Amino acid sequence: MKINHSDGNSLQKRISRYLESVYNISNGPNQADYDAALCSIINVQYVYNLAAKDIASGFLNGINTKIVLNARDCFLLGQFAVFMTFYRSGMQWLEYALHLKQNKSDVTIQLEQVSDALAQAKIAHDKRYSAQKWDNTRYFRRRFAPLSEPTGTQKIHPTQEAILRPPEVHYITKDTHGICQGRVQPSPDETKELFCCPYQGHLRARDIYVGEELSPETHGVLRQIVERISGLRVPDSSGMLYDLHVLSHTAGDYYPAHLDTDEHPTALATFLIYFSEVSKGGESYFLDANLKTVPKKGSAVMTYNLYSCGQNDESALHGFCPISFGEKWVTPVWIMYEHQTHLQCLSEPYLRHEILVNGQSKYKHQNEHR
């Protein structure tokens, strides 16, 4: 799918006008802006497991930002991270602030301030984690396998049994951070089911509205694109959930794992259109497939959220990784379940829908092009 940026780049001009209307530079940045910036850096550091030393030296997740932080900057980041209970990150920042003060003759902050803050952070960390009873099951969304029954000689304490035997036990673990970092990859069985579908179409810049509803003409363009690619029925604008907007995400933004049906219960499918590329980060990740997709301008990602009976399909659990550098512009399109009567099947209630290619089976599509 191509996005036409003609007409003097009207989309960019409209975005600029909208941003000017909602954010007055003369009145900022304020404390909330500073806090948001600090939080963004900590989020990126935490998810991608980055060293405070590298970020302070100007290297953020492989990108040279050419911005070097002084001891006071590191001190403020450390204090903020500790306040947010990111103790490990906070102590890293405070230790590096101490290093700059002791070895680089940095005069932006007093040595005693950094030393005291670091000591207090270590005390808070030890106090919290020494007293905390860890329930490791909360890190596992799904159980590996049923537990074997104990033999006559084995004894399980009632508290341990309550932890080991939750109501459902046939589940597997997932690692959001591992997917975002690239440590966790989809298996060959998972990747063989993936495919791309090229589509030649045009969505004009003047069709996209920022901070307001899309025009009826744009609804029509999107409806045609979705119907042609997916084979789903979108009879009119009511076939898509709610008003469509372009969403903007900047550095540090991320979205935790969720189901779209948590907020939109009748969203059978999600069609996410990318209007920009991101310098680093911002990938959409899918926990069930150990997969992340890189934002590419003019492309879209489609997933089904419901089974054939209309119940939630938890394999659609997804989010997006923190943006390390750059910005991300997307439009999510939610396609309503009630219009897809040809896909509803109560006799086989837990069938997963097949994503079609121009209305045809992807397997047939692949065979024709071999």
Coil vs helix vs strand at 47: helix
Residue with tokens 């933004």: 253
Kindly write down the DSSP assignment for every residue of 283-326, as one continuous string.
-EEEGGGTEEE---TT-EEEEE-B-TTS-B-GGG-EEEPPEEES
Domain boundaries, the chain: 29-131, 176-368
Task: Give every CB contact of residue 178 below 8 A, 6+ residues apart in sequence.
Answer: 184
> What CATH topology corresponds to 176-368?
Jelly Rolls (2.60.120)
CA distances from 170 to 147, 165, 186, 367 (A): 9, 11, 20, 35
As a CATH number, domain 29-131 is: 1.25.40.10
Amino acid identity, position 212: E
N-terminal to C-terminal alpha carbon distance within the chain: 23
* pLDDT digits (tens), the chain, 370 positions: 444 444 445 556 666 666 666 555 566 677 888 888 899 999 999 999 999 999 999 998 888 988 999 999 999 999 999 999 999 999 999 999 999 999 877 889 999 999 999 999 999 999 888 765 554 444 444 444 444 444 444 444 444 433 333 333 333 345 889 999 999 888 887 777 777 766 655 554 444 544 445 566 666 777 777 777 777 877 665 545 455 677 889 888 999 899 999 988 888 888 888 988 999 999 999 988 888 999 998 888 888 999 888 889 988 999 999 999 889 999 888 888 887 877 777 677 778 877 666 556 665 544 444 3
Task: Give every CB contact of residue 289 below 8 A, 6+ residues apart in sequence.
Answer: 186, 190, 194, 315
pTM over 0.85: no
